[in-house]
Structure 1
């Protein structure tokens, strides 16, 4: 909702909601389908009733605590890897390369127009405001363009599904601890997660550093550093495959992972 502002902080979003202008609140409610039993309450909300706004704020906090907070550490790591890919694309070829690298099933760059696949047709003119590209983990496999009617200087936001048109990895929604506890105490949580991720590909060609970063949900640079430590310990091997490098478990790494404790 535009009335909560462009923020990643829940408390700030709630404060923006409570302080949002009445006209902006009414504009947001016009896009919602409200049943007959809730229309009186929605009318009070649109009229600026403080109690109705506080009820929405409480509902937002409760919803966040149940649907987002338990999974946020994993989601944040995954989003960091997606953002890193965008930064790398922009570093390689600027804005043109970044726009060309977007999932073509969601958005296509036809200079000077970025076409976004969406059921509703509309033209959004930036007018020098720029464009914010955001990765969404709760999207229903389609892009969204968010504008801020109350702030003509605010850059529109292009929200793209972080998983593209693919289903999201199921382990992102797991609350339980999937890391081998004895190994975590020995190697640390992230290095153990790297070994466990490599176990899925140990009979194939392994994983590239970027793929591994996605699975472990940490940055590529951090994954590379952990891989270096594991390689020096003889637990993984690293081989160059074109411009990328691929990591695989060694027999010692496999034995360590399967036993949960080192055997010398």
Structure 2
């Protein structure tokens, strides 16, 4: 069996496993990688905004609904009943595209505390063939709107930065979203627009968007 062969350190079964994983990645992950990255970056922008607006309490209170902040306890839906004590240690919040339903933590409580939680899944973008949206994308105003989004902003902030009306900012953001350049997530009573890797690459003249 493959597990036994791997435990014995045999090279041929290991090569088969690596090949299977690469094939799976090429078929199931690579085609959607820009969307996966965009979802993670959008979540990071939302969490960063929550931290700036409300501090640590605001950040913890704004986590996905399966996680509830009831100071000083952070509760989470979990498959089993379990308590994790920080004992003065920090907690790393790790968004994950592949985590679904409930967050997860390391099984070993002696390891650094990490809470892996699912990001919001707005749905994979359906990119249209080059057509009407491409013509609508061209123009100085829309270019200014794309640059104004930067590291993330609400529609009101976008209107102020780009010097356009609120309705115009919303319309421009909608067109950019249709083109796959912007991702929009709800943040409290407003929405937060962030650049996708494609949008960031476009602003950089085709250079890839680096992840920090």
Q: Distance in 1 between matches of 2:11 and 2:83?
A: 35
Q: Distance in 2 between matches of 1:47 and 1:113?
A: 45
Work out whether 1:238 is the aligned partner of 2:160. no
Work out whether 1:162 is the aligned partner of 2:119. yes
In the TM superposition, 1:1-264 aligns within 5 A as 40-104=1-65, 106-147=66-107, 149=108, 152=110, 154-163=111-120, 168-172=121-125, 174=126, 180-184=133-137, 186-187=138-139, 191=142, 219-221=151-153, 228-229=161-162, 231=164, 237-238=165-166, 247-249=169-171
Given that 1:77 and 1:219 are in contact with CA atoms closer than 8 Å, whether structure 2 keeps it comes out as no
Q: Distance in 1 between matches of 2:10 and 2:82?
A: 33
* Structure 1 gap ranges (5+): 1-39, 196-208, 232-236, 240-245, 255-264
Structure with bigger RCO (C-alpha 8 Å, 6+ apart): 2
Given that 1:70 and 1:175 are in contact with CA atoms closer than 8 Å, whether structure 2 keeps it comes out as no
Deviations 1:114-173, CA, capped at 9 Å, x for gaps: 2210122222233444222122223332222235x5x95x5233222212xxxx33334x
What's the RMSD between the two structures over aligned residues? 3.9
Q: State the TM-score, normalized to the length of structure 2.
A: 0.60
Q: 2:192 maps to which residue? A: none
**Total equivalences in the alignment:** 169
Question: By how many angstroms is 1:45 displaced?
Answer: 2.0
Question: By how many angstroms is 1:94 displaced?
Answer: 2.5
Deviations 1:180-218, CA, capped at 9 Å, x for gaps: 23344x339xx48x89xxxxxxxxxxxxx9xxx7xxxx7
Q: Distance in 1 between matches of 2:13 and 2:170?
A: 56
Q: Distance in 1 between matches of 2:17 and 2:90?
A: 31
Pair member with larger Rg:
1
